[in-house]
Amino acid sequence: MEIKPTKLAGVLLIEPEIYRDMRGSFLEMFHSQKFSAAGLPDHFVQDNYSTSCQGTLRGLHYQIRQAQGKLVQAVVGEIFDVAVDLRRSSPHFGKWIGVRLNSENRHQLWIPPGFAHGFYVLSEHAEVLYKVTDYYAPEWERTLLWNDPQLGISWPLREGKPPLLSEKDAKGKLFSEAEVFP
């Protein structure tokens, strides 16, 4: 398992070692000692699993209190996974990173508390598993507008097709109006 830093401090790309043979494959998705050694949490309180069709965009979500760290993996299909730094004290405040996660590379993205998170489904269907470090608290959930020009996220949208959005995600706040972290 390789754990690599990204251009945003705290966001890490986890590349598992995949063992393949004629029967299929095997990999470690989580290893407490290896995660702890790399500074990642080794205690998660909830696992979330979502299924989505192609063109769905979920996000950009965060909890202003009970902030969640998220360990995200596409177990079926492919997604473009995005993290936006909402930590005012960070030199990367307002910056974003996007990574393709899919069922072939089995990469995971660690997104620490203090970031908004979202993903766009590239494949016909995707199933996403993510572990979180704190419980879901709807009263503290906030949503950034996915296409805020100030953020300038380069979503790899299907040509000529707007993303499928929930009502909540379509009404996300602009970054300039959002509650952020110290």
- Whichever domain contains 122, its CATH number is 2.60.120.10
Where in the sequence is the domain holding 27, given as residue range(s)?
2-177
pLDDT tens digits for the chain (182 residues)?
A: 899 999 999 999 999 888 889 998 888 888 888 888 888 888 899 999 999 999 999 999 999 999 999 999 999 999 999 999 999 999 999 999 999 999 999 999 999 999 999 999 999 999 999 999 999 999 999 999 999 999 999 999 998 799 999 999 999 999 999 999 99
Asked if the structure places residue 182 within a domain, the reply is no
| Distance, CA of 38 to CA of 130 (rounded, Å) | 19
Catalytic residues: 61, 130
Asked if the structure places residue 93 within a domain, the reply is yes
User: What is the value of pTM for the model shown?
Assistant: 0.93
Which residues fall within 8 angstroms of residue 81, CB to CB, at 6 or more apart?
A: 72, 74, 98, 99, 100, 101, 109, 117, 118, 119
Domain count, the chain: 1
